[in-house]
Amino acid sequence: MVSNRGRSSMGCLVALLLVAVAMYFGVNVGEAYWRFYEYQDAMRQEVRFAKQIPDDRIKLHLKAYADSLGLPEEATDITVNRTNSDISVSAEYAEQIAIPGFARQIRFNPRAQGPL
């Protein structure tokens, strides 16, 4: 009878290494999506109080927020469409996600709309 106490399986170590590598490189992708959701949430906040705030002030607030998030310059090209009953705010930008041996550009289109 052979005892395996104190020994680890090589397969388990390889699996743990692959999970660690995936998490390490997944952080870049996760950060890009996190910034997108934060920016979109800021847009929703501006839409919520848009009745009292003029369009140019909404753009100014969102441009400052995009800058604080470290978003690309094109994220500050914000469109505000206002009618008598509702408002929509949107932008479009791309972020480069770099993983060793692989690079990809992901396009984001944050948008918020609501009643006035």
- Per-residue pLDDT at 100: 73
Q: Tens digits of per-residue pLDDT, 38-72?
A: 999 999 999 999 998 999 999 999 999 999 999 99
Q: 71 vs 44, 49, 77, 84, 99, CA distance in Å?
A: 17, 23, 11, 31, 19
User: How many beta carbons lie within 10 A of that of residue 92, not counting itself?
Assistant: 14
CA–CA dist 77, 33 (Å, integer): 19
- Per-residue pLDDT at 5: 59
Q: What is the mean pLDDT of the chain?
A: 89
pLDDT cut 90: percent of the chain above it: 66
- Per-residue pLDDT at 8: 60
Note the pTM of the prediction, 2 decimals. 0.80
pLDDT tier for residue 9 given thresholds of 50, 70 and 90: low
Q: Which of 11-20, 34-43, 50-59, 80-89 has the lowest mean pLDDT?
A: 11-20
pLDDT tier for residue 34 given thresholds of 50, 70 and 90: very high
Mean pLDDT, residues 70-99 = 94
